[in-house]
Structure 1
Amino acid sequence: MDNFKEQLVRIEDIVIYNIAYGISIVLFVLSLISLIFVGISVAVILAILAGALFYFKRFLYCEYEYIITNGEVDIDCIYQVNSRKSKLSFEVKDTSLIAAKDSEDYKGFSNKPKDIINCIPKGNKDKVYVAILNEGSNKKQIEFVPNKEFLDICFLYNPKVVKR
């Protein structure tokens, strides 16, 4: 039987995203007004600023989806609810530890990797877990916020390293 679980972790702090969106609209309107009253050079500069801010604001609204299928974990980043990018993928059996970040198991773990990948949306207050991956000499530490069902499926595939 296949073990499959999806978990969507939504962003909770969208104030900065809304401010960036508002500023980009204001800059665009100002560029249209300055085209009429000031000149084309100021209008072009304001339009470029508005376009750049409108494009880069999507990185301020990032949700994460954790998917586990038969021991393989995929973590995707979803920008502005419509654009998905795969962040990373790993096998649960290739991990050294999956534990809460504030647990004694994690604090007592020696040789922690310096490469830390954050997969937690801004403003999220859930309990943070850490997965330490063994990929040869390239060790990575992933910070994420799985729920109980997700951890239970991870436990099925590597019970020695999953600390619930």
Structure 2
Amino acid sequence: MFFVLIYAGIYLHQKITIHTIISPIIGFITPLIIYFTYCFWFDNIEEFQQLFYFYDVKTFLIYSENDSIWFVGFILLTTLLSLFIKSPKALSVNNSFKKNWILLIINLIISLLFVLIIEDKNASEIVYLLFPTSVIIANGLEEIKSSLAKNVIFILILIGVITHQFLL
């Protein structure tokens, strides 16, 4: 799924050459060939074929089973608010930040889709959301002028992280 991000970056930054087009494909196919060879050698082709089976979208019940739903909900809400605060300003200028902001949004969407389709949810898939959400939240907080509001949000996130750590 993150393969799309590579080509989006190549397209947005206008670095389209034969090397930038073929290198990600070779980098993707090479481990597949090596893994197929391994499975073929040990007569376990079914395990290799399991890589290409996609499952239905699972629910987020793993996040509501424990008390992490409040913290995850707060982070997602803060991310959405930061997107709405920063996006108009970032997309109005025509520089490299605009391109990087679009790539960051694509990364967030792909990460969310990945978290949705992963079969065995154990809350470790949230790691894929850490980078895009943290950068988006930081850029959104940069737009807030009031230092009191920034400090309140930082304290809420800090309290959430600490209590989330002790509740799990």
TM-score normalised according to structure 1 size: 0.27
For the pair shown, which has the larger CA radius of gyration, 1 or 2? 1
Higher strand share: 1
Bigger fraction of residues in helix: 2
Bigger RCO (CA 8 Å, 6+ sep): 2
